[in-house]
Amino acid sequence: MSILKQTVYGNFEPNFLGVSLSYPFGEYERFQSIWNSSDPDKVIWKGDQMLNRNPEKAVQFFSLATAVTHEIRHFYDFFLSPIGNFIFRIKLACVFNGIQLLPCFKKLIVPVPLTIWLDKKTYDQQEYINNISYLITKKVFTEFDKNDDCIYHKMLMETQKNYSTLEQLRKYSCYNIADTELTDAHLFESSAIICQAQEIYNIFGLPHAEFFLSYLMKKKLSYTLVIKTLCGIWDNIPLIYTLSYMNAVISFCLLSNIFDENDKNNSPISRFIQIVKLLLKYRSKVLNKLPSELLCDWIEIFYKKDVKDIFNSTEKRNGTLYKTFSEVADKDNEFSQKILHTFRNFIELHKYIRYHYLSNIDNYLVPYNFNNDKSIWFVPPIITRLYGGGLLFDKDKFEKNKIYPIEFNESNNKKFVTIYLKNVSNQKIINTDIAIETLTYMNTTDYLFYKYRRNDQEYTWTKKILKLIFNIDTIELF
pLDDT exceeds cutoff 50 at 392: no
Distance of CA 202 to the CA centre of its chain: 25
Q: Which residues pair with 139 in a beta bridge?
A: none
Cα pseudo-dihedral 69, 75, 81, 85, rounded to 10: 180
Tell me the chain's radius of gyration from C-alpha atoms. 23
Amino acid at 124: D
- 419 three-class SS: strand
> What values do phi and psi take at 121, rounded to 5?
-70, 160
Which positions ≥6 away from 99 have C-beta within 8 Å? Answer: 335, 339, 441, 444, 445
* pLDDT for 183: 86
Q: Which of 82, 94, 84, 259 is nearest to 163 (CA)?
A: 94
376 close to 356: Cβ distance less than 8 angstroms: yes
Q: Give the Cα separation of 270 and 173 in Å (integer).
A: 8
173 burial level (CB within 10 Å; 0-12, 13-18, 19+): buried
Confidence of residue 235 (pLDDT cuts 50, 70, 90): confident
78-111 tens-digit pLDDT:
999 999 999 999 999 999 999 999 999 999 999 9
- 376 three-class SS: coil
Q: Which of 179, 17, 167 is nearest to 94 (CA)?
A: 167
* pLDDT for 373: 92
Sign of CA dihedral 243, 249, 250, 255: positive
97-149 tens-digit pLDDT:
999 999 999 999 999 999 999 999 999 999 999 999 988 889 999 988 777 66
* pLDDT for 249: 96
Amino acid at 263: D
pLDDT exceeds cutoff 50 at 390: no
pLDDT exceeds cutoff 80 at 202: yes
Q: Which residues pair with 112 in a beta bridge?
A: 476
Q: Give the Cα separation of 96 and 425 in Å (integer).
A: 29
Confidence of residue 3 (pLDDT cuts 50, 70, 90): very low
Q: Which residues pair with 245 in a beta bridge?
A: none
Amino acid at 396: D
pLDDT exceeds cutoff 60 at 391: no
Kindly report the number of other CB atoms within 10 A of residue 168's CB atom. Answer: 10
Q: What is the pTM of this model?
A: 0.89
- 115 three-class SS: helix
Most confidently modeled of 214-223, 225-234, 310-319? 310-319
32 close to 445: Cβ distance less than 8 angstroms: no
398-453 tens-digit pLDDT:
555 555 555 555 554 455 556 655 556 678 899 988 898 899 899 999 999 998 87
Q: Which residue has the higher pLDDT, 225 or 9?
A: 225
